């Protein structure tokens, strides 16, 4: 399938852009009493664009950002981090919170006054790596979104440490979902986590980041 950029008043579409995508179907040859039926991907109405599935152009830097792949942490981790759910999304960690199921059947991560984070999947190179995307959040209180990591050149003896912190957004949370756009350029030879620090009750519904 091809979509002409000119039809969207665009002269160029670049890698790393995060789009929303949705599919619906309609059947018009049913037998009475109903002569037609329509349905949408994930059970979402065609006008509920905030709930559309993400489509990222390029390579994903955030893995499992829709929290569809779950795994069971060991008992030691559950107790040490005060995790409130039996399962967590793969590639994600949380303190003082856990996984919850939404009314639409999807999963979200929540924390009360603590931390949610994931290690970013992009290769270390001698060039800068541009990351772009968005997160969907809600809750009550404040949420700081930042990248935390370090720079390690090839052959360095030191292991990973959280030596650098780049704050990209400070969000006032509301009960209604907010889509927060992210744009960050990682230094050459860098390694980063995407982290969310809550002052209050924060819910992360979705995270999309690509390079």
Q: What is the pLDDT of residues 12-70, one digit of tens each?
A: 877 667 788 888 888 888 777 878 888 887 778 888 887 787 777 778 899 999 898 99
- Contact criterion met (CB below 8 Å) for 62 and 50: no
Average pLDDT (115-130) is 91
pLDDT of residue 9: 87
Average pLDDT (109-133) is 92
Task: Tell me the pTM.
Answer: 0.79
Q: What is the pLDDT of residues 176-187, one digit of tens each?
A: 999 999 999 999
Domain formed by 14-20+55-210, architecture: Sandwich (2.60)
pLDDT of residue 154: 84
CA 8 to chain centre: 25
Closest CA to 132 of 195, 62, 198: 62
Whole-number average pLDDT of the chain: 90
Q: Which residue has the higher pLDDT, 13 or 143?
A: 143
pLDDT of residue 101: 93
- The Cα 162–Cα 178 span in angstroms is 28
Name the least confident of 50-54, 138-142, 186-190, 195-199. Answer: 50-54
- Burial code (b: 16+ CB inside 10 Å, e: under 16) for 54-77 equals bebebebbbbbbbbeeeeebeeee
Q: Is the model's pLDDT at 127 over the cut of 70?
A: yes
159 band by pLDDT with thresholds 50, 70 and 90:
confident
Name the least confident of 152-156, 163-167, 188-192. Answer: 152-156
């Amino acid at each position: 399938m091809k979509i002409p950029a000119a039809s969207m008043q665009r002269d160029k579409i670049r890698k790393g852009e995060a789009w929303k995508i949705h599919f619906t179907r309609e059947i018009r040859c049913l037998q009475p009493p109903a002569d037609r039926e329509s349905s949408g991907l994930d059970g979402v109405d065609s006008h509920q664009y905030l709930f559309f599935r993400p489509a990222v152009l390029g390579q994903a830097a955030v893995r499992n950002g829709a929290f569809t792949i779950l795994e069971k942490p060991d008992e030691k981790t559950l107790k040490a981090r005060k995790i409130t759910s039996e399962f967590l999304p793969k590639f994600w960690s949380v303190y003082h919170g856990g996984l919850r199921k939404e009314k639409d059947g999807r999963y979200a991560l929540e924390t009360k006054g603590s931390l949610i984070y994931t290690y970013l999947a992009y290769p270390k190179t001698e060039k800068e790596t541009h990351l772009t995307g968005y997160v969907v959040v809600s809750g009550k209180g404040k949420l700081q979104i930042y990248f935390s990591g370090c720079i390690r050149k090839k052959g360095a003896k030191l292991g990973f440490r959280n030596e650098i912190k780049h704050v990209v957004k400070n969000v006032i949370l509301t009960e209604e979902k907010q889509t927060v756009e992210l744009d960050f350029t990682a230094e050459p030879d860098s390694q980063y986590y995407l982290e969310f620090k809550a002052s209050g009750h924060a819910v992360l519904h979705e995270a999309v980041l690509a390079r």
